[in-house]
Structures are given as structure tokens and as C-alpha cells.
Amino acid sequence: MTAVSERAAGTAIAHPLTHPLEPLTAEEITEAGALLRELAGLGPSVRFVFVSLHEPPKADVLAWSPGQPPPPRQAEISVYDRATRATHEAVVSLTAGELVSWRAVPGVQPPIMAEEFISCEEVVRADPRWQEAMRKRGVTDFSLAMIDPWAASWTGPEDDPGARRISRPLTWVRSAPGEHGYARPVEGLVVVVDLDAGEVVDVQDHGVVPLPPKPGNYAAAWRFEPDNVPAYPHDRDGLKPIEISQPEGPSFTVDGHAVSWQRWRLRIGFTPREGLVLHEVGYDDRGTLRPVLYRASLAEMYVPYGDPAPTHRFKNVFDQGEYGVGWLANPLTMGCDCVGDIHYFDGVVNDQDGAAVTIPNAVCLHEEDAGIGWKHTDFRTGAVEVRRRRRLVISTIVTVGNYEYGYFWYLYTDGTLEYEVKLTGVISTGALPPGEQPAHGTLVAPGLYGPHHQHFFCVRLDMAVDGPVNRVVEVDSRPSPPGPGNPHGNAWETVKTTLSSELAARRDTDAAKARYWRIESATETSALGAATGYALMPGANVPPMYSPDALFANRAGFTQHQLWVTAHDPEQRFAAGDYPNQHPGGEGLPAYGAEDRSLDGADVVVWYTFGAHHIVRPEDWPVMPVNTIGFMLKPSGFFDGNPALDMPAGEPSGCHTD
């Protein structure tokens, strides 16, 4: 790479011929950062929030074919100037070495950055008021404190994102280096840190609550200490090895970030804010590549806590928009996160100087046996036909403070797509006086509780069912009205309603009506004469439990409905808006759909919000067994019959008799 300083801005630089949606390489990220510093004249007070591929317009991507020169390689960059407290967004062309755009975004706060995770903790640890509060609790070795930089929420006009950049960190204390610190929360201590000034601006001590007395260790080195809860004398035994053997290797092929597996074709993307992204998901149907999705991404996460105590009331965090779930991805190097014949993709993100940071093995690709796919026994002849089902698993796992989230896409041999979030890690804990029971949480160990909370996820599905022109139809089931057509009362029917505009397409799940939504092609029909489609099948879901009058309620307008549909706009990617940090609310989906654009026969984007309800269980302590939530996209008249009919019976005897 030619250093920016050694060549004139505007000079074309060579880039390899590559697919327009290949994520930025480490070299490109570092180059983009240096280019922006030079072209915009940025000083050291300017920090790089996110650097990622500026995706070319959809029409250009769809028009591109291998062998053609790709559209210009561009990076989109958000930066924050600590000296002026100003946020800017830029696009730089790596192809032309030019600044394409530079835009001020007033009155917002970008997410909390990696360097602030470190600096915030050190600033608090050195503060005399915090130290005094710790001494009151009997803590004198401050090196054992863990101070997590919780996003501040919006607690009133003093949190105006245009005025200051703050965090409200919470404190826990390990009892020894390496021990599970979340076992000992410092209840009642609320700190406000000005992240730009690097100083504590407020310390509120709402009264001493004793640190919980018991360690709750999950790590191998500590688990069998005599005082640990829950207490186990040793590891269980009796587990014989299970080995996944793929002697001929996996059934997928990978070229750059393009993946081909069975009939499925797709591309893997990765950004520091969104993490794993799927691009151009299509199905090879007997020689014709039929598109299903243009782009699928996590569009936001929101975790509001339902406990009014001073240390918990402001805990309503957007783990994506206030931190970012790409740069927090784990390196999956231990071979324990997924098993089988694995292909890993690195995740390439940026540091605050604008240089690349590579997370090795951030995305895992592997295939799994998924049980039986279909079966029938002809009871008269005894003939049996049964076929296995497989799935391709594309996964990433992130650590956001105490919690882990696994984001898993499954593509099945029967044409189904599934998205599943795995929730694990450590609950956010609180302490309470001995003998008391929490009013808004669950006791998990003596003096230790987990407050009630919810996790909302919103996934953005830029649909492309048999092409870009789609419509969304709500399908309810109901008893048929009594009358001549239903003389026995057994009849029921489906009611289909086209969601014709954005305001009409703000919808909720309804289990009593077995409600689902069918995303149809507006141009293609199946051999049976109906529009081809994929059905969005909701899984478990829950509405928000906080009052609509809650101070923070407007911050996550996307949780007001489970389904939103918008007309395609590549600028509209985040369900709570581009900058939810410290924001009072109103941005994102409620604003995106306000124009009420037409959706009937349009390039539609489907947004699905699903909530995981978390009434903490004692079994969630000291580390939480995985809980899952998600949804499916099932072919619904997309094919003219069972697309897995061609699954081989296998040799030598096969999964059949005749």
C-alpha cells in the first residue's frame, strides 16, 4: 500500500477486481482512515467511530457481473471530534483517493468506543468520591473493581446529546483477581463520567448495601472452591465422546466471501456496528438462481430493565447503536463455539485512530445434520422412505459487558431460512440487604438478584423474492362465518390483507389468529398460478413491559410493533436511528415510515422486532444456560412442491426399503 502522504490526493490507486460487496480489507480500512485524515485535515482529537464498506447502489451491484470492473471502492466513516464535540460522516473513495462526501451531524452522540471502555474505568477508579464510596463498603483494593461503561440512557434534558458525552458506569468488585466480579455488585452507586473531559462529573451514593457474601464462580479454576454457589463436588462423568466426522470435507465452497452450499448461494458481510450481514441470498432452483434476500442484518437491540432502583433505572441500552456488535465479536479460535468442518471468516473493524483491527475467526461457517427432513411409511407395503435434513450454520458471538449474544443464521436443505439469537453470559446483577426479596427481580444467591428485563432485537430484511419488486401480505386464520357455506361449524379460512403502505404495515403478532406475513413477488407466479413467496413465521415474542409514559419509552419506537415494512432506502438501516446514544427518541422506524410510502409492488424492506422476556431464574446464575429466540423465513408457494424431494437416500442401503 502506498502511504497517503507519499501520493497526491486524487491519484487513482490499484485495487484488485473484486465483488462490489466484499467487505473492506484491513489494508483498505487503514488506507481509508489515513485518506480521510489527510483530505479532511483531521487532528488527533478526531476519533474514528466506525469504518466500513460504503455499499454501491443496489442497481449497480445487481448490474455487475464477474469480469467487469467493480463500482468504485468506497468507505463510509463516522468520526467524533473530542475537542469540538462534533460528529461527522464521510465517504471516501479508495479507487479515486478522493473525499466523496463530508457531513456534519449535529446534536448526536456516536456509540461508546473501545478506547472509552478502558479510559472510563481508569477515570472512575482514580476519583476520590468513588474511592470514598468504596471504602464505605469495605473495599480498599481498588484494582479489584470492575467498572463497566454503561450507556447513559436519556434521563432528562441534562443528558442532551448535543451538550456532553457521558456514560453512567456501574461498579462490581472481584474478591480476588480472576474471580467472577459480577457476583459482587456495588449497589446504590451511580457515577456520571464526561467521556471527552475524562473526568467524573457526578457521584451519587444512595446508601450502602452489603456486597453479597458468596462467590459464584463458573471458571474451571474456581468452580470447586468450598464456598462457591451453586456447589458441585466435581465435574459430572459418563460423557462418552461424540465426534463429527466429515471424511470428504464440507459440502460448501467459499470464494472470498461468497458461499455456495447445496442450492443456496449467498455472500457474507461484516461491519463494526452490525456484525454479521448476509448479502444476495438466493436459491439455485434447477439451474435458475432465484433471489430471496438482498441484505439481511441486525438493525438494533434494546435491553430495558424493569427495576426502579437508582442503579438500575437508567439501564435501557442499545447494544448495537450505543456500542456496536461487530467490533465486540469474539474470535472463535477454540473449536468449541462450533464443531465440524469449519470455515472461519475474519471480522475486520477499526480502532479509534482509523487503523484496521482484525478479529480472527469472527464468523463461523459449518454444516450440521438437522434431524429428519421428511418421512413416510406405506403401512400396507411396509415401504419406508426417510431423508435427513441438513443446515448451513453461519454464526458469530459477541460479548457486550456481562452478556453474550450469539447470532445464528441457518439455511436448510428444504429452502427454509432461520435466524436465532442465543442469549448467554452473565445476568446484570444487583445487591440487596440479607433476608430481603427483590420486588422487581429474582434472588439468585444470598444478597444477590437479577432484575427483570427484556431483550428486543430488530432484524432488517431487504427482501428480493424472485426479484426486487415485492409486496407483503398479512395472513390470518379465523373460523368461517356460520351459514350455508359452513353448516357444521368446522370450517375455517385464511384472510389475506395486503399491507399497502408504510403506516398500514405497522403490525403486531397475533397467536390467536396464527398470524404470519407473506412476502410475495409482484411479478412472478409459481406453476400453481399464485405469486411466489416466502413467509415470515414469528417465533416467541413479547411486547415491552415498561409504561408508554416511561421517560425512555420513545427511545425504542421500533418495539411498539413487531412488523414494520418500509420502501427501500439504503440510508435507513437502523431501527432506533443512526445515533441512539443519549438520544431522547423518535428516530428510526417511526420516522422512516412517516411518509407512508406505497408498498404494493415495491422494493420493500421488512423489519421484524422480537422480544425475549427475561424473568431471571436462579438457574441463570452464575452463568446463563443458552436461551434462544428467533424467527423463520419459510418458502410459501415459492416452489412447486417439496424442494427437498431430491435429497439422496444415501448408500449403500439408504434410508428406504422397498
> Do residues 71 and 55 touch, judged by C-beta distance below 8 A?
no
Q: Tell me the window of 98-106, 309-317, 431-439, 613-621 that interacts with Cu ion (CB under 5 A).
A: 613-621
> Do residues 211 and 431 touch, judged by C-beta distance below 8 A?
yes
Shortest reach from residue 302's CB to Cu ion, in Å? 12
- Kindly tell me which residue out of 614, 621, 638, 643 binds Cu ion, with binding defined by CB under 5 A: 614
CB atoms within 10 A of CB 306: 20
Binding mask 618-647 for Cu ion (x = CB under 5 A): ------------------------------
**576 torsion bin: left (phi>0), alpha (psi -120 to 50), beta (else):** alpha
Shortest reach from residue 449's CB to Cu ion, in Å? 13
Cα–Cα distance for residue pair 636/641, rounded to 1 Å: 10
Q: Which residue is nearest to Cu ion (CB)?
A: 614
Amino acid at position 148, single letter: D
Shortest reach from residue 614's CB to Cu ion, in Å? 3
Binding mask 557-596 for Cu ion (x = CB under 5 A): ----------------------------------------
Shortest reach from residue 150's CB to Cu ion, in Å? 15
* Nine-digit cell string for 334: 477454540
φ, ψ for residue 208, nearest 5 deg: -80, 130
For Cu ion, the closer CB: 312 or 614: 614
Three-class SS state of 27: helix
| 267 touching Cu ion, by CB under 5 A | no
214 CB-near residues (< 8 Å, 6+ apart): 183, 227, 228, 229, 445, 446, 447, 448
Partners of residue 598 on adjacent β-strands: 501
Amino acid at position 190, single letter: V
Shortest reach from residue 458's CB to Cu ion, in Å? 17
CA distances from 89 to 86, 209, 274, 277, 576 (A): 10, 45, 17, 21, 18
Shortest reach from residue 540's CB to Cu ion, in Å? 14
Length of the chain: 658
43 CB-near residues (< 8 Å, 6+ apart): 83
Amino acid at position 194, single letter: D
For Cu ion, the closer CB: 471 or 614: 614
Cα–Cα distance for residue pair 108/580, rounded to 1 Å: 8
For Cu ion, the closer CB: 405 or 409: 405
Question: Residue 397's closest CA among 357, 315, 338, 316?
Answer: 338
For Cu ion, the closer CB: 48 or 456: 456
Three-class SS state of 31: helix
Q: Tell me the window of 38-46, 61-69, 70-78, 612-620 that interacts with Cu ion (CB under 5 A).
A: 612-620
Shortest reach from residue 536's CB to Cu ion, in Å? 24
Buried-state track 323-359, b at ≥16 Cβ within 10 A, e below 16: bbbbbbbbebeeeebbebbbbbbbbbbbbbebebbeb
For Cu ion, the closer CB: 290 or 614: 614
Shortest reach from residue 311's CB to Cu ion, in Å? 17
Alpha helices in 572-630 (DSSP H): 589-592
For Cu ion, the closer CB: 280 or 404: 404
Q: Tell me the window of 108-116, 330-338, 555-563, 608-616 that interacts with Cu ion (CB under 5 A).
A: 608-616
For Cu ion, the closer CB: 313 or 614: 614
Positions marked catalytic: 319, 403
Shortest reach from residue 456's CB to Cu ion, in Å? 11
Cα–Cα distance for residue pair 403/168, rounded to 1 Å: 18
Three-class SS state of 21: coil
Residue 6: half-sphere exposure toward Cβ, Cα within 13 Å: 5
For Cu ion, the closer CB: 52 or 541: 541
For Cu ion, the closer CB: 265 or 614: 614
Shortest reach from residue 428's CB to Cu ion, in Å? 8
**Residue for grid cell 453479597:** 212
> Do residues 394 and 363 touch, judged by C-beta distance below 8 A?
yes
Amino acid at position 238, single letter: G
Total of residues contacting Cu ion (CB under 5 A): 1
For Cu ion, the closer CB: 88 or 312: 312
List contacts with Cu ion (CB under 5 A).
614
